[in-house]
Structure 1
Amino acid sequence: MLVSRIARISPKKALASAAVAAATTGMVLTAAPAHAATTGSSSAQAVAQKMIPDKAQYAAFSNIVSHESGWNVTATNSSSGAYGLVQALPGSKMASSGADWKTNPATQIKWGLDYMNSRYGSPTAAWSFWQANGWY
């Protein structure tokens, strides 16, 4: 009877082993930027869901963002220069919601919500306008 044993290795030891193996082959391991985990589309969607608890309002906001940027925090329209999740034009408008507007989904979502609420009354009204016009 063949019995195999799987050893438990701590994450620290596994990383050290990987670093040694990489160095042996001439590779370099680097840490990812601290904000990398917060800029992905699923993470931005999770932030929006927390900020927009009403399901209908979140769905409308999500529809707009999906069409405008595909939930890409750094999306830039090559012809107009519109930027971010909600495609603000110019993108620097979002600085009114925070200095980190270029990379922080929460800042962009806050600005987008404020814009939709002030211009259309709500994200659902903004989505209705978007559906009728192809923009908002």
Structure 2
Amino acid sequence: MHRLAAPALLLLGLGACSTPPPPAAPQPEASGPPAQRGEASYYGPGFEGKRTASGERFDPGANTAASKTLPLGSVAEVTNLETGQSQRVRITDRGPYVKGRVVDVTPKVAEKIGLKHKGTAPVEVKPVSAPTETAAR
């Protein structure tokens, strides 16, 4: 028994002396649409209850937005670059159709990120998630 234990201990000892594995390679960033920078504005009072491009009725108290490029049903984080305030929104509509503007948000979101008083603000729109299967329908 003593003869069998010595090789086993030797193997265990050699395993402890081996070099550690190399560090994991950095993971590539998630593919998808890149963040956009531009101006944001917000919907005026005449849109309440009207149908959006997604078919939903516009709710000025919701965390939703319009984008020309992000898929309907996707979620994005809109950050006011002047205030640093952010809100997550779900893309339910198309637009804005004013040069330099990248997103229209609801009055609720405009208030939360500090752009309601001025009407527009420079923002970054960062995609967070793709539309869910049910949202895509």
TM-score w.r.t. structure 2 length?
0.24
| Structure ID, larger Rg | 2
Greater share of residues in helix: 1
TM-score w.r.t. structure 1 length?
0.24
